Amino acid sequence: MPIRELRTFLAVAEGGSFAAAARKVGRTQSAVTVQMQALEEEFGAVLFDRSRRPPGLSAAGRAFLPYAVEAVAAYDRLYRVISDTLVEGHLRLGVVPSVITGIMPRALAALRERYPALHVELAMGLSKELVGRVQGRSLDAAVVSDFRLGAADLRWSPVMQEPLVLIAPPDAPARKAEELLASYPFIRYSRQAWVGELIDDFLRRRGLTVRETMMLDTLEAIRTMVHHGLGVSVVPQRAGDAAGDLAVRILRFSGAAPKRVVGIVQMQEHGKAALVDVLLDVLRHEAGGTARGPRSS
């Protein structure tokens, strides 16, 4: 039984509703519902009275509550002892914009919860710039996409893969991605980013022509323009996208589309390697392990 489900149960009990718990733990209300159903199945008991709105604790839930509090407190004490002695220090981390507003907040929250003695200092930039700062040792590591510098002094650890998709305005007609790409103005992801080069290469290989109207360097800016009907764009479908993001239509291309690979780059030999490995494990857990694989230089 994951400790996260117990934490969510306590958040429901404290907040008085699944919606309040969702806001506290940073999940959607449907995700909280699934977690609580799994918890009930685990113990074979109905913990919530769903005959009233919002659902409250049942008699079994009220009896379960003090033991859940005790279990979570014991777990926190265990991790505090381990983290205080084994995982501590200061990590200077570079992150590309699309990750810093995607999966990174969840990963940082998980790091803070598990390893309170580990402090992460963030710097934002494009992949090429961040890799240069890692080589110059002003950063201990960087979370970048589509790493392409085969330098022997660098180690690359993939975290997740994100397929390229077409995003279109919410009211776009129900047509194929290729047809919408040809009929709408095109909002291009900046060529200064490595993922922008990946997208350009995909368009060339597919022979897809576009009518470019603007070039932007963040996924949030592109999604905003598309949401307001100003065009379509080709972007990676981020693992960390939230249900509350501005609405757009997401369409997959026919055939296999390339995938953006997000991972961590660091120097082969440096004193913060153990801390980077801790971050790597947390990122992979939050991403669902979509790009686990051997490290390469």
50-79 pLDDT, tens digit per residue, is: 888 888 899 999 999 999 998 888 887 776
Task: Tell me which of 64, 85, 106 is where a domain ends.
Answer: 85
pLDDT of 239 higher than 60? yes
In a domain, 294, yes or no: no
Q: What is the rounded average pLDDT for all residues in the chain?
A: 86
Whether cis (ω within 30° of 0) applies to the bond prior to 170 is: no
Cα–Cα distance, 277 to 159 (Å, whole number): 11
Q: pTM for the full model? A: 0.63
Least confident of 36-50, 114-128, 230-244, 257-271: 230-244
Domain membership of residue 292 (yes or no) is: no
Q: Quick check: is 280 in a domain?
A: yes
Mean pLDDT of 112-121: 88
168 and 252 co-located in one domain: yes
- Contact between 263 and 96 (Cβ < 8 Å): no
Cβ atoms of residues 20 and 6 within 8 Å: no
Contact between 125 and 138 under an 8 Å Cβ cutoff? The reply is no
| Residue 169: band (very low, low, confident or very high) from pLDDT cuts 50, 70, 90 | very high
CB atoms within 10 A of CB 127: 24
Question: Tokens representing 89?
Answer: 């220090």
**Segments forming the whole domain that contains residue 92:** 88-160+261-287
Strands 233-236 vs 211-216: parallel, antiparallel or unpaired? unpaired
Same domain membership, residue 133 and residue 249: no
Quick one: average pLDDT of 174-186? Answer: 94
Is residue 297 one of the residues assigned to a domain?
no
List, in order, residues 6 or more apart from 76 with CB less than 8 Å away: none
CATH code (residue 51): 1.10.10.10
- Mean pLDDT on 258-268: 90
Helices 3-15 and 29-43: crossing angle in degrees, nearest 10, is 110
The answer for residues whose C-beta is within 8 angstroms of residue 170's C-beta and 6 or more apart is: 227, 247, 248, 249
| 89 CB-near residues (< 8 Å, 6+ apart) | 117, 118, 119, 272, 275
- How do residues 99-111 score in pLDDT, each as one tens digit? 888 889 989 998 8
Q: Are residues 23 and 166 in the same domain?
A: no
Q: If DSSP codes are grouped into helix, strand and coil, which group holds residue 216?
A: strand
Last residue of a domain, one of 85, 105, 126: 85
Residue 117 is predicted with a pLDDT of 84
Mean pLDDT, residues 212-231 taken together: 92
Q: How many domains does the chain have?
A: 3
**Same domain for 124 and 265?**
yes
